[in-house]
Amino acid sequence: MFPLRRSIVVAAAATALALAGMPASAADIPPPDAVVTSPNVTHVLNIPKPAPIAATINTDIAFQGDYAYVGNYGGFSIYDIRNPKRAKAVSSVVCPGSQMDVSVYGNLLFTAVDSSRNNDSCSSTGQSATIKESWEGVRIFDVSDKANPRYIKSVETNCGSHTLTLVPGKGRDKNKNVYLYVSSYLPQADFPDCQPPHDKISIIKVPLRNPTEAAVASTPVVFPDGGNETQPGLLVPTTGCHDITVYAEKDIAAGACMGDGVLFDIRDRLNPRVTARTTDPNFAFWHSATFTNDARKVVFTDELGGGGAATCNEATGPNRGADAIYEIVRGKLVFKSYFKIPRYQADSENCVAHNGSLIPVKGRDIMVQAWYMGGLSIWDFTDASRPREIGYFERGPRSDGSGGGIWSAYYYNGYIYGADFNEGLDVIKIDDRLTDGARHVRTDRLNVQTQESFPGGGHGGGHGGW
């Protein structure tokens, strides 16, 4: 391991450069496996992956009460985080199927499977999607007993479920049903259950009193005239959405749809309606979206290289593989600027904008975000035209030469949690005057793709889950 004193010096130097608006040079890349942070960030704890799923990579995180639910290509794990400094794994469920995007609601955990399986069971094996009987979609678990989760239902969806977004019901429906917006893509003519052009999402209705009755209730077409398919530099043409973030109390959603950025009206939960759409010549793959608390801005991420390439280097530059900040003006998306971490990574490190969440600070727009082997970045975009990094955590290149890094980084009740491909779950703390206002903001649940307003944070109003 890299000596602590030396790592602090490197971190302080990189932070000084970042605050000055200058990119760190290649000379500032940490030694292999070294943990480095900005001076305002502390690495509180690392919890290695539990043995049953240690061989497969960590992915997404959901939170409820005193527990974190961490997805993994091999299944998922539940962690007790009531004392973040002593967080520990409670259980692991072996149930393979990428990517295991997760959302939690009450006693139900929803997991996304986007790899074709020979059946829907947890003992299934991979099988070609050209076989009609193959399965992929959503699995539902009862997690009322955290030590012994129970698999209670599967729902097959066209082209599987790369990601899923939990959408609460509204009005009289509010306490009766939840909905899952299922994003999937890459149809193929010889896939019986994933036929082109696909350009749609699947919506699963889950009756809360009888979740085993969950079923696909609607398959609205997002791009009736086709999506962005011809732009040079696209990773793949638009054939659906990669990820959708809903702001249910405002009846809006933002879709990151491969080659397109989209706004939806979701007043009718089963029939979301596209209200705005944009493209960007610098974007290769619209990956995810985050609204500000007042819903006047939205951040879209670009997964240049599909997450497997080194794009945080000088050769790639600051405007590709970055975040794009848009203001929402009279219902339209108005581009303001890009943000990319100002710390160059080695050419051996896969690094690109990935999953993050707001830090609930009144009157400011601050986000924590994963960047794979770029670690996690804490950045302020209150001024949408001049975003800046205010803190970070990262590891140096892996000594074995392999890839990995932090898939998801989310703020929950005073701490930041990062799901690292290989290293497990990291617990991190930021101590900074810009984020101190979030210290006493508490919520009972956090599904990042289901955004809820936090108190006093701009013009959003309401408390949602915070």
State residue 396's pLDDT score. 96
d(CA 265, CA 245): 12
Residue 462 placed within a domain: no
Per-residue pLDDT 10s for the chain (466 aa) are 322 222 333 333 333 334 433 345 566 789 999 999 999 999 999 999 999 999 999 999 999 999 999 999 999 999 999 999 999 999 999 999 999 999 999 999 999 999 999 999 999 999 999 999 999 999 999 999 999 999 999 999 999 999 999 999 999 999 999 999 999 999 999 999 999 999 999 999 999 999 999 999 999 999 999 999 999 999 999 999 999 999 999 999 999 999 999 999 999 999 999 999 999 999 999 999 999 999 999 999 999 999 999 999 999 999 999 999 999 999 999 999 999 999 999 999 999 999 999 999 999 999 999 999 999 999 999 999 999 999 999 999 999 999 999 999 999 999 999 999 999 999 999 999 999 999 999 999 999 999 999 986 543 333 334 4
Residue 168 placed within a domain: yes
d(CA 215, CA 206): 7
pTM to 2 decimal places: 0.93
State residue 455's pLDDT score. 81
The residue behind tokens 């979701």 is 266
113, 127 Cβ separation under 8 angstroms: no
d(CA 315, CA 308): 16
Q: What angle do CA 89, 394, 391 make, to 5 degrees?
A: 105
Residue 460 placed within a domain: no
Coil, strand, or helix at residue 71? strand
Residue 421 is which amino acid? F
Its domain, for residue 279, covers 4-451
State residue 10's pLDDT score. 35
Residue 461 placed within a domain: no
Residue 67 tokens read as 């527990």
Residue 464 placed within a domain: no
Closest-CA residue to 124 (of 52, 193, 51, 75): 75
Coil, strand, or helix at residue 383? coil
**β-strand pairing of 99-105 with 273-278:** unpaired
d(CA 459, CA 66): 29
Q: How far is CA 53 from CA 50, 71, 75, 89, 403, in A?
A: 6, 10, 7, 12, 18
81-107 residues labelled b (16+ CB within 10 A) or e (exposed): beebeebebbbbbebbbbbbbbbbbeb
d(CA 107, CA 144): 5
414-450 residues labelled b (16+ CB within 10 A) or e (exposed): ebbbbbbbbbbbbbbbbebebbebbeebebebbbbbb
d(CA 279, CA 300): 11
Closest-CA residue to 375 (of 30, 47, 6, 9): 30
Closest-CA residue to 387 (of 370, 415, 367, 401): 367
State residue 26's pLDDT score. 60
Task: Return the CATH number at 190.
Answer: 2.130.10.10
Closest-CA residue to 255 (of 233, 279, 236): 279
Count of the separate structural domains present in the chain? 1
d(CA 96, CA 322): 31
State residue 460's pLDDT score. 35
Residue 458 placed within a domain: no
The residue behind tokens 């974007």 is 283
- In this structure, the chain runs to a length of 466
State residue 28's pLDDT score. 79
d(CA 201, CA 222): 7
Residue 183 tokens read as 């994003």
Torsion of CA 7, 13, 313, 324, to 10 degrees: 110
State residue 168's pLDDT score. 98
State residue 3's pLDDT score. 29
The Cβ of residue 308 has, within 10 Å, a number of other Cβ atoms equal to 11
